[in-house]
């Protein structure tokens, strides 16, 4: 498979008469965009669109998802397959990417499992989305008593449609004369070729755990709720081209947004090292489950696939914490006992003092583990000049508490409340060093 990402760099947003991009400025026709998302009868009449750029004194709360604007300009299906386009395989052809831009959906869905994005101040140092130029959708249901699943579906669809609309308008405006600021080309062999490539290098795979515990803890693969599948093999280029979409209402700090799936840094780094340090054979997508029987089934199936492919090692990433820790550890020890070396990526919930047990489960085999930080660390977010959304949600967001929101607009919360703060894919602004 061969995929080209044609990147147009966006460093500023503005409202205007025609949606398009020029000289790094993404102009958005607000009325046209509102008309597009208001076609969904599940959404109310109080819809709004606003803009937030790096350095602005703006707080966005409660954040549901973040999506990178993209549009297929040649071959290989269309963006967000199975969600807003036909179910055709992606991962090939040419895709237009508005790099530096993002669509942020904000709405009170589950309330305690949305997040906060500050565009400046100390909070901005913890979220990667303080660096993106954000088109913010403020979404409310048509009926305040609407089923939360319907409301989440409406918000998810609105975000995806907006991301596609922005990139499509830019592609159509440029027409045949479209010139990207940068073209990133990727190739990845089929499994038959991969198995005989790079003799002497270890065969390595990526075991990609997706949050799928139901009750609005959902992720979608080609439009299919992943809790309904058995672990399966996927080309890394399919992931990079939008095959996986977040539908999650989980703690903000380690929620893998759609943007992170589109820009998975684990895949990007493994592709860079492919053919040099190891032979990157494939991705194995698996789910995170509720019952012990389902955990056993998925972990056995995922590690069986790794063994059948003759993998020497796998990188395993988690999404979420607590219950999913059991899936992570089960995947780890089952792979190790099959002779497959593992490296784990997770985050920690070690208490505000850092002294508590970091994971809900562990095993002796899990001796190669990368942490994305302690989500219980407390931070004070100063007041912002402008708030997009509902600031009072800080009192109920996971990581906050009644009284988190001060009278002057300051918020005291754990990192758990900040969107993307401890991303278990490593898409975060936190770092570490050895002492």
Note the pLDDT tens digit of each residue in 320-377: 999 999 999 999 999 999 999 999 999 999 999 999 889 989 999 999 999 999 999 9
pLDDT at 405 over 70: yes
- How far apart CA 130 and CA 121 sit, in angstroms, is 10
So what's the pLDDT on residue 176?
A: 60
Across 22-49, average pLDDT = 93
Q: CA quadruple 124, 130, 134, 138: dihedral positive or negative?
A: negative
Tokens representing 302 are: 């995922």
For 301, the 3-state DSSP assignment is helix
Task: Name the catalytic one among 133, 155, 170, 249.
Answer: 249
Task: For residue 92, give the DSSP letter.
Answer: S
Write out pLDDT tens, residues 201-235: 999 999 999 999 988 899 999 999 999 999 999 99
| 431 assigned to some structural domain | no
Beta strand pairing call for 115-118 and 58-67: antiparallel
Q: Say which residues have a Cβ less than 8 Å from residue 283's Cβ, sequence separation at least 6.
A: 205, 206, 208, 233, 234, 235, 236, 239, 267
Contact predicate 212/289, CB 8 Å = yes
424 vs 430, residue with greater confidence? 424
| 114 assigned to some structural domain | yes
Tokens representing 22 are: 């020029």
Q: Say which residues have a Cβ less than 8 Å from residue 345's Cβ, sequence separation at least 6.
A: 266, 315, 316, 317, 318, 369, 370, 372, 424, 425, 426
For the chain, helix (H) and strand (E) counts, in that order, are 8, 24
Tokens representing 264 are: 């998975």
Total of domains in the chain: 1
- The label of the residue with tokens 């395993």 reads 316
| 224 assigned to some structural domain | yes
pLDDT at 156 over 90: yes
Tokens representing 125 are: 């140092």
| 428 assigned to some structural domain | no
Among the listed residues 334, 317, 201, the one whose alpha carbon sits nearest the alpha carbon of residue 268: 317
Across 79-89, average pLDDT = 94
| E strand segments, 251-375 | 279-287, 313-317, 341-348, 369-374
pLDDT at 160 over 70: yes
How far from 62 is each of 14, 72, 395, 427, CA to CA, in Å? 23, 30, 11, 20
| 435 assigned to some structural domain | no
pTM for this predicted structure: 0.95
pLDDT at 113 over 90: no
- How far apart CA 80 and CA 258 sit, in angstroms, is 10
CB atoms within 10 A of CB 369: 17
For 180, the 3-state DSSP assignment is coil
Residue 210's region, left for phi above 0, alpha for psi from -120 to 50, else beta, is: beta
Tokens representing 229 are: 């599948």
| 432 assigned to some structural domain | no
So what's the pLDDT on residue 430?
A: 81
| 38 assigned to some structural domain | yes
Q: Which domain range does residue 62 map to? A: 2-188+195-417
- Catalytic residue check, 249: yes
Task: Render the burial of 88-118: b for 16+ CB within 10 Å, e for the rest.
Answer: eebbbbbbbbbbbbbbbbbbbbbbbbbbbbb
Tokens representing 361 are: 């489960």
Write out pLDDT tens, residues 278-308: 999 999 999 999 999 999 999 999 999 999 9
Across 397-401, average pLDDT = 94
Across 267-278, average pLDDT = 96
| 317 assigned to some structural domain | yes
């Amino acid at each position: 498979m061969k995929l080209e990402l044609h990147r147009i760099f966006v460093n500023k947003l503005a409202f205007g008469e025609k949606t398009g991009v020029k000289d790094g400025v993404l102009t958005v026709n607000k009325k046209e965009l509102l008309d597009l998302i208001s076609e969904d009868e599940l959404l109310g009449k109080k819809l709004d669109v606003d803009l937030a750029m790096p350095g602005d004194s703006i707080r966005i709360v409660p954040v549901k998802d973040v999506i990178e604007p993209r549009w297929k300009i040649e071959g290989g299906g269309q963006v967000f397959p199975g969600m807003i386009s036909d179910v055709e395989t992606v991962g090939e052809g040419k895709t237009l990417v508005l790099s530096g831009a993002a669509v942020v959906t904000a709405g009170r869905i589950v309330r305690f499992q949305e997040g906060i994005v500050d565009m400046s101040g100390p909070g901005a140092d913890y979220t990667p989305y303080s660096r993106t130029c954000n088109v913010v959708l403020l979404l409310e249901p048509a009926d305040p008593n609407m089923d939360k699943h319907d409301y989440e579906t409406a918000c998810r669809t609105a975000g995806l449609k907006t991301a596609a609309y922005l990139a499509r308008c830019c592609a159509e405006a440029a027409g045949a004369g479209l010139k990207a600021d940068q073209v990133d080309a990727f190739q990845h062999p089929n499994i038959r070729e991969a198995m005989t490539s790079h003799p002497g290098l270890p065969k390595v795979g990526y075991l990609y755990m997706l949050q799928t515990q139901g009750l609005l803890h959902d992720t979608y693969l080609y439009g299919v709720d992943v809790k309904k599948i058995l672990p399966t093999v996927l080309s890394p280029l399919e992931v990079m081209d939008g095959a996986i979409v977040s539908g999650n209402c989980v703690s903000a700090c380690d929620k893998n947004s759609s943007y992170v799936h589109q820009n998975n840094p684990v895949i990007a780094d493994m592709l860079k090292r492919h053919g040099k340090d190891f032979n990157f054979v494939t991705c194995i997508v698996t789910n995170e489950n509720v019952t012990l029987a389902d955990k056993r089934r998925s972990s056995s199936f995922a590690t069986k696939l790794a063994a059948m492919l003759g993998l020497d090692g796998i990188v395993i990433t988690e999404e979420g914490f607590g219950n999913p820790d059991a899936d992570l550890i089960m995947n780890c020890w089952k792979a190790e006992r099959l002779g497959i070396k593992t490296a784990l990526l997770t985050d920690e919930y070690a208490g505000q003092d850092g002294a508590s047990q970091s994971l809900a489960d562990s095993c002796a085999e899990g001796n190669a583990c990368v942490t994305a930080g302690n989500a219980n660390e407390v931070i004070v977010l100063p007041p912002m000049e402008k708030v997009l959304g509902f600031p009072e949600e800080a009192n109920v967001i996971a990581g906050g508490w009644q009284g988190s929101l001060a009278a002057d607009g300051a918020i005291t919360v754990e990192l758990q409340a900040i969107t993307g703060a401890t991303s278990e894919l490593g898409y975060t602004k936190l770092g570490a060093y050895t002492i």
